[in-house]
Structure 1
């Protein structure tokens, strides 16, 4: 497969998924929207991934490319039926692109918290082989407040009801960062703005505690990520020619 991967910050990359894709012989073209890289035509791509970032979906004046990005997501998912995977900001952008709504989170989630599969999540392909309740890594202060028509919630939590979502048969997204690996953490904490944001949210020692908690669970987090990656490929195979 050849994937198009949309990026919004140098610190937010495919992470552990890069390793999975490389091992399976798949390739991807990264597009750095925060560097004002033009969006390419979707011709020739087998799937679209949209990663996380510090922007908010409604900040179109500050980041004008968000409008074009949402249009591309809508074209990919609605018009072309391309397999899609969205993470954190990518999850929120999928919701807005398809007619849903995103707003400030009532309770921002920063750290490792459990999510619970819904009935649709527990019986579907995307979370096959994953426990009905499992820990994930969070860092977000916005959330999906209204689902797009036809979307299903696959995982939920008390402070953020839409933790994972499916639209149609090939578009999936998660509010949590299943792509995170040690390098991802290093990049996040090495960015002054990100480090300061963790301190503001969690206290002076917040960055150290965040990193410690994530690294302590990293093996389990990456195992879940690999399972979801395999499951996503199974869903994507329905759309990609052999």
Structure 2
């Protein structure tokens, strides 16, 4: 089983995602597009993960990623998009991506609006880390899974693929690397960071088991 993780910037790596995918039985390759590494071919992958970054999902430089995501979805390969990755998944499936009402950054939560085997039961509040200012429409085939007051479309599922606008992958080391790049004045208290990482560990374990199982 082969999984590729697309990384856009040095300070947003796979963090908790990689060990979850490895534990589920897949080999992980991180593709550093910020270092000029070439995108993989969809036919060579079993699972695709697309991480975050400060760029816009509609940029022409990301056309190849949108095409790769669309090809993986067409082939039935599970895709996980996180932050920018979720916006790229939405765009690849024909939805509009645009600037949101305001920056949402720091510790917070999302409310689950549908039962889901990866995220949990509807009505649950998940502790997460926010870091975005763009939003997206729900793809035509998408099922809305989570919302927040500022951003109603926080997570969705399309077939075997998932998009998370929020971050569940940051452990303490990843947050330390990202912290200097967060909007000025953003402070994440240690207890909130631990709560988000603990919730993220469980979510990513369930997602990885789902993804690798779907790809078999």
- TM-score, normalised to structure 2, is 0.92
Aligned residues: 216
Q: Counterparts of 2:123 and 2:198 in 1: how far apart (Å)? A: 12
CA contact (8 A) 1:73 1:94 kept: yes
Give the structure 2 partner of residue 163 of structure 1.
Answer: 154
Give the structure 2 partner of residue 3 of structure 1.
Answer: 3
- SS in structure 1 at match of 2:210: helix
Give the structure 1 partner of residue 37 of structure 2.
Answer: 37
- TM-score, normalised to structure 1, is 0.82
Structure showing greater radius of gyration is: 1
Does residue 70 in structure 1 map to residue 66 in structure 2? Answer: yes
Q: 2:97 aligned to 99, 102, 107, which one?
A: 102
Q: Counterparts of 2:9 and 2:67 in 1: how far apart (Å)? A: 20
Give the structure 1 partner of residue 120 of structure 2.
Answer: 128
TM-aligned CA deviation for residue 21 of structure 1: 3.4
- SS in structure 2 at match of 1:29: strand
Q: Counterparts of 1:47 and 1:3 in 2: how far apart (Å)? A: 5
Q: 1:24 to 1:125 in 2, by over 3 A?
A: closer
- SS in structure 2 at match of 1:176: coil
TM-aligned CA deviation for residue 156 of structure 1: 0.4
Q: Counterparts of 1:133 and 1:148 in 2: how far apart (Å)? A: 23
CA contact (8 A) 2:78 2:211 kept: yes
Give the structure 1 partner of residue 129 of structure 2.
Answer: 137
Q: Counterparts of 2:70 and 2:52 in 1: how far apart (Å)? A: 18
Does residue 180 in structure 1 map to residue 155 in structure 2? Answer: no
- SS in structure 1 at match of 2:43: coil
- SS in structure 1 at match of 2:120: coil
CA contact (8 A) 1:130 1:227 kept: no
- SS in structure 2 at match of 1:90: helix
Q: Counterparts of 2:11 and 2:149 in 1: how far apart (Å)? A: 28
Runs of at least 5 residues in structure 1 that lack an aligned partner in the other structure:
200-205
TM-aligned CA deviation for residue 237 of structure 1: 4.3
Cα deviation digits, residues 94-133 of structure 1 (max 9, x gap) = 0000000111110220111221111x2xx22122379711
Does residue 226 in structure 1 map to residue 201 in structure 2? Answer: yes
Does residue 82 in structure 1 map to residue 77 in structure 2? Answer: yes
Does residue 216 in structure 1 map to residue 191 in structure 2? Answer: yes
Give the structure 2 partner of residue 117 of structure 1.
Answer: 112
Does residue 21 in structure 1 map to residue 21 in structure 2? Answer: yes
TM-aligned CA deviation for residue 23 of structure 1: 4.3
CA contact (8 A) 1:129 1:227 kept: no
TM-aligned CA deviation for residue 22 of structure 1: 4.1
TM-aligned CA deviation for residue 32 of structure 1: 1.4
Two-structure CA RMSD over aligned residues (Å): 1.9
Q: Counterparts of 2:2 and 2:41 in 1: how far apart (Å)? A: 13
Cα deviation digits, residues 130-156 of structure 1 (max 9, x gap) = 971122101111111x22111111000
